């Protein structure tokens, strides 16, 4: 989950000993949790749910930043700081991208290809030959 280290960066206490390693540990813990979660679902369902989760976490990150720091998005825009404003706006763009991907995966219907339908015809004709 791409947003996990960013959330950890904001939520772990600043004075915490070995904070950088804790952020890395959060990344691997969340990564492992998403793997275990995906193993309990069908692949399609796991993709949809994890894409929606990522969209939500990415979209909420600028709000978390506004609560936990002295540099919310609106302040960065007013002060003309393109680095901070651009980063948070890109988080919303990535959140929107993840939401679009979740919708597309949810609406996707696999196409039946000619080779697949041809294979079933071959199998059916072989069965007819064997039963005759």
Number of domains in the chain: 1
Q: Which domain holds residue 57?
A: 4-131
- Answer yes or no: is pLDDT of 8 > 80: yes
Cα separation, 54 vs 94, in Å, equals: 9
> Is there a contact between 23 and 12 (Cβ–Cβ < 8 Å)?
yes
Tally of residues, the chain: 132
> Is there a contact between 54 and 2 (Cβ–Cβ < 8 Å)?
yes
Q: What are 12-32's pLDDT values in tens digits?
A: 999 999 999 999 999 999 999
Stated pTM of the model: 0.78
Q: What are 58-102's pLDDT values in tens digits?
A: 999 999 999 998 889 999 999 999 999 999 999 999 999 999 999
Give the list of residues 6+ apart from residue 101 with CB closer than 8 angstroms, or none.
Answer: 51
Residue-level pLDDT at 104: 97
- The 3-class secondary structure across 115-131, one letter per residue, is HHHHHHHHHHHHHHHHH
């Amino acid at each position: 989950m791409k947003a996990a280290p960013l959330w950890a960066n904001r939520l772990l206490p600043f004075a915490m000993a070995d904070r950088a390693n804790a952020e890395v540990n959060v990344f691997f813990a969340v990564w492992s949790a998403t793997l275990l979660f995906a193993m309990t679902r069908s692949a399609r369902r796991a993709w949809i749910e994890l894409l929606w989760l990522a969209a939500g976490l990415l979209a909420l990150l600028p709000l978390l930043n506004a609560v936990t720091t002295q540099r919310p998005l609106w302040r960065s825009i007013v002060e003309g700081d393109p680095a901070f404003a651009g980063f948070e706006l890109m988080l919303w763009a990535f959140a929107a991208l993840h939401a679009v991907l979740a919708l597309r995966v949810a609406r996707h219907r696999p196409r039946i290809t000619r080779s697949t339908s041809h294979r079933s015809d071959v199998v059916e004709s072989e069965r007819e030959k064997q039963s005759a």
